[in-house]
Chain A
Amino acid sequence: MSAHGTSPPAPQALSPTREAIAMFVRRRAAIAGLVLLALIVGVSLIGPVVYDADPFDIAAAPLTPPGTSEAWLGSDQQGRDVLTGLVYGGRATLAVGATAAGIAVLIGVTIGALAGFFGGIVDEMLMRVAEFFQVLPALLFAMVLATLFSPSLIVIALAIGVVSWPPTARLTRAEFLKLRELDFVAAERVIGASTGRILWKVILPNALPPLIVSATFAIGTAILFEASLSFLGLGDPNRMSWGLMIGSGRSYMLTCWWAVTFPGLMIFLTVLAISLIGDGLNDALNPKLRERR
């Protein structure tokens, strides 16, 4: 503060977003996660463009171990190249994961926001619906949905999204319950803002930090979900995915470890990267947690 009676120089105006980014950048694990995820996404997106091959083609003798020139990471029981599978399988896995998480967040945020903001009977009814979905065995329910309809990527993403929104709805509801009582929401009413405006333009931006974190973790969960469905043979059989590779190689696991290990490793690394990013975002966006460290 200046001692000369002039107004103190205003501290550098940092928006909450930029402050959070600065915080995030300082966390090494989070940056490592981001780099790892960028690599995986990059290979999955660009790989199939530059590396022209059909992952379902026979590329080598069945069960070729890794390290040979025709199949660097080996081939599975049908002679399909594992490396090609990894490069091509990422797209389906990541797309389904991101779409499913997007659907879950969209449903969860809408339902949670309405329940938390309006309370009363609206809250009661929406939360009973959420509980209904929560007590259903999610994997089983997703399996039913996936078998009822033709197992295309969209159907699988929808099935995963529809079963995994309740936690997001609960989190959103809690945030809205807390935020709707704050004075700036009352102040917003006083200036004559409509309910829709208060919901989505006033409260939602304040609720975003925990929601971003939860959405990040939701992607990780959705990827695991997709892998489980594909493993059980309920994925899209015409699209190579990491889950499908593990699923088809599972009976040869002991003689042909590479056909399941490498796609498993990819799923592990992807979910790990997303979790690291989620943790970093949590630290960056939640100032209370930040102080505890």
Chain B
Amino acid sequence: MAGEPLLSVEGLCVEFKGARGIARVLNGVSLSVAAGETLGIVGESGSGKSMTALAVLRLVPDPPGRISAGRVLFRGEDLLQASTPRMRDIRGNKISMIFQEPMTSLNPVFTVGAQICETLTLHLGLRGEAARRRSIELLKDVRIPAAEQRFDEYPHQLSGGMRQRVMIAMAMACEPSLLIADEPTTALDVTVQAQIFDLLREIQKARGMGLILITHDMGAIAEMADRVAVMYGGRVVEEGTTRDVLDHPQHPYTKGLIACVPDLDQEVGERHALTEIPGVVPSVWDLQQGCPFADRCDEAIAPCRTSMPADVVSNGHRVACWQRPGERA
């Protein structure tokens, strides 16, 4: 881990109230990111990745959702205690976020230029020609050709990759110290995906920005992340440096996820059926005591179904599994 954490999330819990009672969507999530570092968060849909991101920005839909416990320390300041105006100042200014769907993340009735200018006006007070100049600079920074022209275009005139670049330009407008990218390339094809990753890496390097990359793509993690947190059922089940986690996965879920990545190197003739993790992510309403993964885990033992294992840490590699009792205190 490099230096002081920029953002550290401690024991974050989010609950949703519904017809069937209260569901714990996040259950004691702890994470940290340092400046200049990339933290990857992986997990299947419904494991709580995006909810973690929303909770950090205090954007959990409330009601029905509620952040019920934990701390989100951004440079030592607990965001969960911050006032609403303070939060508005942080969003987009200190912490930015980009979304999965560039097709729908831009407002269709305004030009992309107007939308970038809006952020500049909101946080930096830039207006008119100054805002326009800065926006065009930002568009150039994200490698949009003919930026002056694109400034006056509407989102529907841009391709998916272009729109994601515009989203990144918007997110970068105030030079935030932390960027949360929620599946930024899922909706794009692979070549564009590589370009977007290159761009993110470049910007991160130039600005020493912390990056949280949320994805379900192990390949993207391997390529981008310094450290990785594996989430399942609203918990971080394993966390460590990318190399450690990918090379020596400890949690059965992590092993399963890695096994699911198709291997392009194998002979074309001998095709194997793709590996899969049996079953689906349990609904948040069905989470019982014990490890949320127990029902799908082929290594499950008796305690897995009765209580949640505590985190075991060795050399910065953290895992929560009853099968790893070795270093348990």
Please indicate the chain A residues that have their CB under 8 angstroms from the CB of B154 in the complex: 13-16
- Which residues of B, 129-171, contact A by the 8 Å Cβ criterion? 145-146, 149-150, 152-154, 157, 167, 170
**A200: which B residues are within 8 A, CB to CB?**
none
Add 4 more A-B contacts to A120-B63, A189-B57 (CB < 8 A).
Answer: A13-B153, A187-B167, A190-B57, A192-B89
- The CA of A182 and the CA of B100, in the complex, are separated in Å by 12
Give bound CA distance, A11 to B146, whole Å: 12
Proximity bits, A65-96, B CB within 8 Å = 1, else 0: 00000000000000000000000000000000
The number of A-B residue pairs with CB atoms under 8 Å apart is 80
Known: A10-B146, A184-B107. A192 touches B157 (CB 8 A): no
Chain B residues with Cβ below 8 Å from A191 are 91-92, 96, 118-119, 122-123, 170, 173
Instruction: Report Cα–Cα, A76/B33, bound state, in Å.
Output: 86
A38 lies within 8 A of chain B by Cβ: no
Judged by a CB distance under 8 angstroms, whether B297 is at the interface is no
Q: Smallest distance from the beta carbon of A133 to chain B beta carbons, Å? A: 27
Q: Is A52 an interface residue (CB 8 A)?
A: no
Interface of chain A residues 152 through 202 with chain B (CB within 8 A): 182-184, 186-194, 202
Which one of B92, B109, B145, B157 lies within 8 Å of A190 (CB-CB)? B92
Residues of A within 8 A of B (CB): 7, 10-11, 13-16, 120, 182-184, 186-194, 202, 205-206
Interface presence of B305 (CB below 8 A): no
- Point out the residues of chain B lying under 8 angstroms from A184, CB to CB: 104-108
* A194→B106 CA distance, assembly (Å): 17
Interface: B59 (CB within 8 A): yes
Contact with A along B47-63 (1 / 0, CB 8 A): 00000000001010001
Chain B residues lying within 8 Å of A14, measured Cβ to Cβ, are 154
Q: Are B167 and A189 in contact (CB under 8 A)?
A: no
Which residue from chain A places its CB closest to the CB of B149 in the assembled complex?
A: A10
Q: Within 8 Å of chain A (Cβ to Cβ): is B285?
A: no
Give the residues in chain B near A11, CB-CB below 8 Å. Answer: 157
Q: Mind listing 7 A-B residue pairs with CB under 8 Å?
A: A7-B145, A10-B149, A14-B154, A183-B101, A184-B106, A190-B59, A192-B93
Binary contact readout B254-283 vs A (1 if CB under 8 angstroms, 0 otherwise): 000000000000000000000000000000
Select from chain B the residue with minimum beta-carbon distance to A206.
B109
Q: Is B88 part of the binding interface, using a Cβ–Cβ cutoff of 8 Å?
A: yes
Least Cβ distance of A54 to chain B in Å? 49
Known A16-B109, A206-B109; judge A7-B157 contact (CB<8 A).
no
* Inter-chain contacts of B150 with A (CB < 8 A): 10
**A189 cross-chain contacts in B, Cβ below 8 A:** 57, 59, 91
User: Which residue on B lies nearest to A184, using beta carbons?
Assistant: B107
| A204, closest chain B residue (CB) | B109
Query: Interface on B for A, CB 8 Å cutoff?
Result: 57, 59, 63, 87-93, 96-97, 99-101, 104-111, 118-119, 122-123, 145-146, 149-150, 152-154, 157, 167, 170, 173
Contact B88 A206 (CB under 8 A): no
User: Complex Cα distance A195/B59, Å?
Assistant: 12
Cα distance A183–B109 in the bound complex, in angstroms = 14
B149 engages A183 (CB within 8 Å): no
Contact assessment for B59 and A186 in the assembled complex, using a CB-CB cutoff below 8 Å: yes
Please, which residues of chain A bring their CB within 8 A of the CB of B101? 183
Please pick, from B105, B108, B123, B152, the residue contacting A16 in the complex, using a CB distance under 8 A. Answer: B108
| Nearest CB of A to B145, in Å | 4
Most B CB atoms within 10 A — which of A187, A188, A194, A205?
A187
- Contacting A192 at CB < 8 Å: which of B92, B104, B105, B109? B92
A192 and B167 in contact, given A13-B154, A186-B59 (Cβ under 8 angstroms)? no
Of the candidates A13, A182, A183, A194, the one whose C-beta lies within 8 Å of that of B157 is A13
Task: Tell me the bound Cα distance from A216 to B152 in angstroms.
Answer: 30
Give A11 to B154 CA distance when docked, in angstroms: 10
Shortest Cβ-Cβ A-B pairs, 6 listed: A191-B92, A192-B91, A7-B145, A192-B92, A183-B105, A192-B88
A193-B122 contact, Cβ under 8 Å, with A13-B153, A13-B154, A205-B110: yes
